[in-house]
A and B are shown apart, each in its own frame.
Chain A
Amino acid sequence: MNVFSKLLTSAAIGLAVSVASFAAHAETPDNMLVIAHRIDDVTTIDPAESFEFAGSDISRNVYSRLVNLDPMDLDAGYKPDLAESWEVSEDGRTITFTMREGVTFHSGNPVTAEDAAFSLQRAVILNKTPAFILTQFGFTAENATETIRADGNKLMITTDKKYATSFVLNCLTATIGAVVDKETVMANEVDGDMGNTWLRTNSAGSGPYKLDSWKPNEAVTLSSNPDYYGGAPAMERVIVRHVLESASQRLLLERGDIDIARNLNPEDVAGASEAEGVKIADELKGRLMYLALNQKHPELSKPEVRQAFKHLIDYEGMRDSFLKGQYTIHQNFLPATYLGASDENPFSYDIDKAKELLAAAGVDGLELELGVREAQERIEIAQSFQNAAAQVGITVNITVGTSKQILARYRARELDIYLGAWGPDYPDPQTNAGTFAYNPDNSDEANATGLLAWRNSWDTGGLTEKVAAAVTEGDRDTRVQMYLDIQAQFRETSPFVVMFQQIEQSAMRDDVTNWSTGQAVTSAAYWQVTK
C-alpha cells in the first residue's frame, strides 16, 4: 500500500468515525482473550529453535522454565518457576536447582529434574539458532550430559568458568530455557531428531496455557491449563488472530470483535484512542534503531568522523514526526529497563558541530553507500540522515533491499553504512554488550558474523575485555557500574550511532487489565490478564 493510499484510508476512516458512531459493538466473552497480531514471523514453536517475537509469545505462555519473569513485576528480575530454589557452588561454576514438587505437564506426566536436564541438553545438542544463549557457558553436544545432569529432585549445571549467577539465570528465562516433557517429546522422535520435527508444530509444556492449534499466518489458539501450579488463568481461551493490516485491526477493535490490537500504526493509534471503550498502553520494548559505520572505510574509521555522524541525526525531529509514539530517543546499546542501562543521551542534531568535526578530520566531499531494508520507517530515517549529510558535503546513496539482501552484505562487511534494528535475545545486559562492544578477533578470517562489532570491523578499543569482565562479576552493583562505564566509552568511541528505542503501543478494550507485552526484557504473557 503506497503512502497516498494510506493517507486516503486514514483520512476516510477518520472522517467516517467522526461523523458516524459505530453500530453497537459486539463483545468477546468474559473468559476469552482475542488478540489481533502479526504472527507471520512464527516459523517454529520448538523452544530449542524458536527465536522470533510471536513464537516467543507462544512459548512464554505454554512452557514453564526453571526461573521466570513475573509479568506483573518485571523490574524484580528472575523468580523461581519450576525450580523452587537454587544454590551456587563455592567456585561459582555449578548451580544446583531444587525442583518444585507436584507440577505436571499438560500430558499429565510429572515435571522432574530429568525433564529439565533433558530440555537444556536437547537445546545444546540440536544447536539451532538460539543455542548460543546456552553454549556461551561452555556447554557442547559432547559434554552436555556431564555439565547438565539430574539427580533425584536436583538439577546441576556446571559452566566452563565462573559467571555472574544473574547472567546464567537471566539466560534461563529466555525461550530456550523452556522445560519440555521428555516422555512426550521422545515418543515423537524421528531419525534421532529429539522430537524437533514434531515439536515445531506441537507443544509439550507445563505452562499456564496449552496449545490447541497453530495455523500459520492465520491464528494461534490456546486454552488454559486448569492444573497449572500457579492457578488456572482467568482467560480460559486465548485466540491470537493474524491480522496484517493496521486499519483492519482497528476496525475489529472498535467493533469489539477483538480485545487487543498490537500492530496499529501511529495514525490508527491516534484514531483508536478517541474511540469509545478503547484505551492505549505504551511499553518500552528492546528494539534499538541504529546506524553503523564500517571501520574498513578509511574516512569512517577516523574518531572525529564517527562523532560527527552522531550529530547528523535529527533525533527530536524524527521522534516527533513519523516515529511519534513508536520510538523514543535512546543513544545507548542497552535498552532502557535493562540492568545497567544508561539514560545518557548526549548527542543532538548539530550541523555546525558536525562540520567542525569533519574539518578537523580533514574530510571533504565523501560519497557513501547506506544499506537499509524496505521498511517505511527505516527508509524515512535514512532519508532524513541523507539530507543532513548533504548539508556537510557528504553524499549518501541509499540502497534499499529486502532484509535478506541487505543483511547478507552487512554480514559480509560490504556496506559503508548500515541502518537497522537490533533487539536483545535474553534479559541480561550481556546480550547487547556481547555483540555491540565485544569482538575478540577482528580479522576477516574470524567470520564472527553474529557480532555487530565484527560486522563493522571495529576492534572495540579495549571494550572487549571490559565486557568479558562484566559477565563474571558477582556483585550486582559493581556489575551495573561496569556496564555504565562500558556504555560511556561506547558512546564516545564506537562507530555505532544508536538513535531510538521502540515503544509498543497496544490498543485494547477498556475492560482488559494487567496486559503485558513483556517490556524490553521478555515476551507477552496472558495468564495474568483479566476482563
Chain B
Amino acid sequence: MALTDNKGEGRASLPPWIKTTLLTIGSIAVTMLGLLFITFIIGRVMPIDPVLAIVGERASQSTYDAVFLELGLDKPLIVQFLYYLWDVLHLDFGTSLLNARPVSEDIARVFPATLELATLGIIIGILLGVPLGVVAAVRKGSWIDQIARVLALVGYSMPIFWLGLMGLLIFYGILGWVGGPGRVGIFYVDVVPSVTGLILVDALLDGNWDVFKDAFSHIILPASLLGYFSLAYISRMTRSFMLEQLSAEYVTTARVKGMSEWDVVWKHAFKNIRVQLITVIALSYANLLEGSVLTEIIFSWPGIGSYITTALLSADMNAVLGGTVVVGLIFILLNIFSDLLYRVFDPRAR
C-alpha cells in the first residue's frame, strides 16, 4: 500500500483543465512550427528569385548583390529559418519584400476583408443549407429533394469565376440592385474610421447608415456566391446525416409513440447530427477564411486569398509566411472551437 501511495505522490498532479490547456498549446506550437518550416523551405527551394522580384530585371549586378546580402540569402538555410523564427516569436513577420510595409500591417488590412465576407457567406450557407438538407432528407425523393440535389450539383460543378461574373452582370450591370466590385463605392472610401477593419461593423460603430447600406450592397453578392457554394456542401452533408438518423430505430420508436413529425425531426434526429454538422460547418468556414482567390479577383475584394497568391507568385516570402501563419491559426482555432462545441452538444465528449 505504501508503495502505491508513494507512486501517486511522486507524479505531478496537475488539474485536468491545466493538462488539457498545456496539451493544446503544445500541439498548436508544434503544428505552427511544422507549418512554418515547411512553408519556409518550399519558399526557398521554389525556382523563383526573390532578389529579382525586388530589384527587377534591369538592376546592375552590384544592386542585385546588395539586396541578396540585405535579405540574408548568403546564410545557410537553417540559419535563415532560425532568424525568421526568432522574429516571428517577437510578433515580427518582417517587411513585405514588394510593398515595403510590415507584413503584420498588411494582414491587419486584408484579413478583416476576408473575415467579413466569409462570415456573411457562411451565415447564408448555414441558414439556407441546413434547413434545405433536413427537408430534402425528410422528403426524400420529392421535388424539394430534387431541387436540393440540382442546387448542390450546380454549386459543385459551376466555375465560381463564371458564376461571379454572371452575378455581377445581372445584379449589378443590368438590374443595378447591388454595388459593383470593391468594398464600398467611391463616395464612401475612408469615410468611417477603421476600428475593426470590418466595414459593416465600423459603419455601425460610427452610426453611419449610408456607409453601412453601401458596404452591404457591395458585400451581398460575393457573400451570396460564397454562401451558395457552402450551401451546396452543407445541404448535401446535412441530408446525408439526417437520412442516417431517420432510419434509426429510435426515430421509428418515437413515431410509433405518436410524437409529432416536427419533434421527431428537429428535437431528436437533428439533435444527433449537430456534432457532425459542426465539423462540416467549421471546415466550410475555414475554407472561406483562407480566402477565395477567384471571388476576390472578380469583386476586387482585397482579401487574404489574393494577398497570399500575389505574394507567392512574386516570391514575397515574408508575406507568404505571414499569411500562412494566419491561415494555420484559423484552422487550429476553428478545430479547438469545434472541440469545445462537441463538449457542449455531446456529453460523451466531456
Contacts and interface: CB of A to CB of B under 8 A. Distances in A.
Interface in B71-105: 96, 98-101
B181 A248 contact: yes
A5 B166 CA distance: 12
Contacts of B48: 402, 404-405
B60 interface: yes
Nearest to B176: A23
26 contacts: A1-B294, A5-B162, A12-B166, A13-B165, A22-B176, A23-B173, A23-B176, A24-B176, A32-B186, A44-B99, A51-B56, A51-B58, A129-B58, A132-B60, A201-B99, A215-B302, A216-B99, A219-B189, A245-B165, A247-B168, A248-B300, A251-B180, A254-B173, A255-B180, A405-B47, A449-B60
B99 A42 contact: yes
A23 B175 contact: yes
B15 to A, nearest CB: 48
A181 to B, nearest CB: 19
For A43, A244, A408, which residue has the most chain B Cβ atoms within 10 angstroms? Answer: A43
For A197, A216, A244, A448, which residue has the most chain B Cβ atoms within 10 angstroms? Answer: A216
A42 B300 CA distance: 16
Nearest to A1: B161
Given A247-B168, A255-B180, A402-B313, 20 more contacts: A1-B294, A12-B166, A24-B176, A40-B310, A132-B58, A200-B99, A217-B302, A241-B186, A244-B306, A247-B298, A248-B165, A248-B180, A251-B169, A251-B173, A252-B181, A408-B52, A425-B58, A448-B61, A449-B61, A450-B59
Given A8-B162, A217-B307, A255 B99 contact: no
Interface string A404-425: 1101100100000000000001
Contacts of B313: 402
A241 B189 CA distance: 11
B47 to A, nearest CB: 5
A278 B165 CA distance: 21
A401 interface: yes
Given A13-B165, A40-B310, A43-B99, A129 B63 contact: yes
Interface in B173-225: 173-176, 180-182, 185-186, 189-190
A34 B186 contact: yes
A242 B300 contact: yes
Q: 10 closest A-B pairs (Cβ-Cβ)?
A: A23-B176, A200-B100, A216-B99, A218-B302, A404-B48, A129-B59, A43-B98, A248-B181, A243-B300, A251-B173
Interface string A356-400: 000000000000000000000000000000000000000000000
Contacts of A213: 190
A218 B173 CA distance: 21
Interface in A211-256: 213, 215-219, 221, 239, 241-245, 247-248, 251-252, 254-255
Contact of B310 (A9, A217, A257): A217
A506 interface: no
B101 A216 contact: yes
Nearest to B159: A5
Contact of A408 (B49, B106, B298, B310): B49
A200 B180 CA distance: 30
A96 interface: no
Contacts of B302: 215, 217-218, 242
Contacts of A288: none
A244 B297 contact: yes
A190 interface: no
B109 A215 contact: yes
A531 to B, nearest CB: 14
B162 to A, nearest CB: 6
Contacts of A248: 165, 168, 180-181, 298-300
B66 interface: yes
A476 interface: no
Contacts of B154: none
Interface string A242-285: 11110110011011010000000000000000000000000000
A43 B174 contact: no
A128 interface: yes
A129 B174 contact: no
Interface in B255-272: none
A3 interface: no
B188 to A, nearest CB: 12
Interface residues of A, number: 60
Given A9-B162, A197-B100, A251 B168 contact: yes
Contact of A201 (B101, B173, B294, B306): B101
B172 interface: yes
Interface in A51-68: 51-52
B56 A129 contact: yes
A43 B55 CA distance: 10
Interface string A300-311: 000000000000
Given A129-B55, A248-B298, A251-B169, A404 B62 contact: no
A22 B173 contact: yes
B99 A401 contact: no
A219 B62 CA distance: 33
A276 to B, nearest CB: 13
A16 B300 contact: no
A234 B147 CA distance: 56
A153 interface: no
A31 to B, nearest CB: 12
B169 A16 contact: yes
A239 B54 CA distance: 26
A52 B170 CA distance: 36
Interface string B274-314: 00000000000000000000100111101000110010010
Interface in A430-459: 447-450
A257 B182 CA distance: 11
A131 interface: yes
B174 A16 contact: yes
A127 interface: yes
Contacts of B182: 241, 243
Given A215-B109, A242-B300, A221 B100 contact: no
A215 B165 CA distance: 25
Contacts of B172: 251, 255
Interface string A173-191: 0000000000000000000
Contacts of A450: 58-61
A144 to B, nearest CB: 16
A200 B96 CA distance: 12
B315 interface: yes
A20 interface: yes
Contact of B174 (A20, A216, A402): A20
A358 to B, nearest CB: 31
A454 B100 CA distance: 31
A244 B168 CA distance: 15
A392 B313 CA distance: 37
